[in-house]
Amino acid sequence: MNIAIFTDSFLPHVSGVCSAVINQANELARQGHQVMIFRPKNFGQNTKRKIERSGELAAKIRDVAISLPSLRQPGLRIAIPTVAPNLPTLRRFRPDIVHVHTEWGCGWEGVMLAKMLRKPLVGTFHTFFAEPEYLKQFHLPNHRLTQEMMWRYSVFFYNHCDRILSPSRSVAQQLTDRGAEKIPHLMSNGIPRYDFVPEEAVTAERKNLGVEDTFVFLYVGRLSEEKSLPVLLRAFQAVSERRAEARLVVTGDGPARKDLEAQAVSLGLGDRVLFTGSVPHVDLVRRNLPRIGQVFVTASKTENQPVSLLEAMSFGLPLIGPAAKGIPELIRPEQTGLLFPPDDTDALTAAMLRMMDEPELRERCGEAARVLAGENSIENIVHQLVFHYHQTIDSRRTRKRRRAIRRLRSRARFSRP
């Protein structure tokens, strides 16, 4: 099967959507399919030749020619759909299906090309752009009317798709409630099975970071407003006042990093919070860096199905996160981790202290998290994805046959004397 994927979020911009696209594309290729990814044109580092040569991606890359840099997200570019330059490329590729992962410039490029070539179209809804934290990034007012407009925009976009996929029940329900013409199908982003390195290698990583003989809470992800990291820092301050051995390692980069580092200093956290900066994803999983932590923690209340959470689970880390959006579908209370009310610093502090004080809870939740991650293995998920592709193709053929039959019957009625 030939599969054309369109995504606005792609390398060098690192995000959960980017990771999900790469994981699915690589597994599709491993299972014998041909994959072509269309992304905003990037300049300088991470050109398509560099990415293809790196071996990180088993798919061809094509650029949407016109793109503008985002002022708020380093590495992210805003594509402007042009269609014409990529039309001959897509014709030669002869896709069996088109899959859009975002609803912006590249997404519309995919929608228009699918319509022009009369190809089946699948869309995955990843991100709650109507949330206040995302509205700030778009410089839009946090108002009920603005939120409703953003939801209508998202629903309008995905109503162009023949089939809608969602990684969480929360998104699927909200899309349905807000007028999606098709019931979204639930399908995880999936996670590869990573090879475990020896414990000695993990110990060496901890020593290099200066966190040996400490208790490490780990966050991995983008450092931006929608991740609610100030809540995590305030909660960790309360934890560190009671547990001198506690450390917080923040791995990732983003527009909020300087503000977060300044907040950590103002809270008097000193060397108890370590900002490692961005780590290439290939290195992150190859070196098993999530294993430097005893517990994975996030305060983000805008998540659908964060890939970073799935990766932490695959390495057997117990989880702490807010009871919001798609998080409770991964963090099952007392099973894979602990939940707390969104933005409730005291409740987050209590959950972190409890994880420190109850090793049996950590062990039980970590093992259950690893089992749940296995159920979301990329092999299983891509088998489901290919099933959805075939179902979409078959449904489209059925509709075409029905339309043809109706036209023939209509002509037959008019041709009768």
Distance CA 19, CA 115 (A): 27
State the average pLDDT over residues 90-119: 97
Model confidence at 171, in pLDDT bands (50, 70, 90)?
A: confident
Do the domains 199-375 and 2-190+378-405 match in fold? yes
- Average pLDDT on 261-271 reads 95
Instruction: Give the Cα separation of 381 and 187 in Å (integer).
Output: 7
In this predicted structure, the answer to whether residue 417 has a pLDDT above a threshold of 60 is no
Q: Summarize the confidence of residues 240-258 as an average pLDDT.
A: 95
pLDDT at 58 (0 to 100) = 87
CATH number of 199-375: 3.40.50.2000
pLDDT for residue 374: 94
The larger pLDDT score, comparing residue 144 to residue 184, is at 184
Residue given tokens 């969480």 in the structure block: 168
Give the torsion sign (CA, 8, 13, 17, 23). Answer: positive
Which residue did the predictor score with more confidence, 222 or 110? 110
On the question of pLDDT at 377 being above 80, the answer is yes
Average pLDDT over residues 213-237: 96
pLDDT band at 49 (very low <50, low <70, confident <90, very high): low
State mean pLDDT over 118-139: 81
- Considering only residues 266 and 413, tell me which one the structure prediction assigns the higher pLDDT: 266
Query: Quick check: 381 pLDDT over 70?
Result: yes
- Identify which of 20-34, 116-130, 165-179 has the greatest average pLDDT: 20-34
pLDDT, mean of residues 104-131: 93
pLDDT at 412: 62
Please, which pLDDT band fits residue 285 given cuts at 50, 70 and 90? very high
**Which has the minimum average pLDDT: 148-152, 242-246, 283-287?**
148-152
Cα distance between residue 65 and residue 85, in whole Å: 8
DSSP one-letter code for 27: H
Residue 115 has pLDDT above 70, yes or no: yes
Q: Tell me which of 133-142, 205-214, 333-342, 369-378 is least confident.
A: 133-142
Kindly provide the b/e burial profile for residues 287-325, where b requires at least 16 CB atoms within 10 angstroms of the residue's own CB: bbbbbbbbbbbbbbbbbbbbbbbbbbbbbbbbbbbbbbb
pLDDT at 410: 66
Element spanning 78, H or E: strand 77-79
DSSP code for 65: S
CA distance 236 to 217: 9
pLDDT grade, residue 59 (50/70/90)? very high
Count CA atoms closer than 13 A to 230's CA, side-chain side. 11
In this predicted structure, the answer to whether residue 28 has a pLDDT above a threshold of 60 is yes
Calpha distance 309→294 (Å, rounded): 14
Please report the pLDDT score of residue 127 as a whole number.
83
Joined together, the tokens standing for residue 298 give 């996030």
Confidence of residue 14 (pLDDT cuts 50, 70, 90): confident
Q: Identify which has the larger pLDDT, 409 or 315.
A: 315
Q: Is the pLDDT of residue 135 over 70?
A: no
Whether 112 has a pLDDT exceeding 90, the answer reads yes
92: burial class by Cβ within 10 Å (0-12, 13-18, 19+)? exposed
What average pLDDT does this structure show over 15-36?
Answer: 94
pLDDT of residue 345 exceeding 70, the answer is: yes
pLDDT of residue 357: 97
307, amino acid identity: V
Domain spans of the chain, in order of start = 2-190+378-405, 199-375
DSSP characters over 155-166: HHHHTTSSEEEE
> CA 316, 318, 320, 324 torsion: positive or negative?
positive
The verdict on domain 2-190+378-405 having CATH code 3.30.70.260 is no
Task: Give CA–CA dist 352/272, Å, rounded.
Answer: 15
Q: What is the pLDDT of residue 74?
A: 65
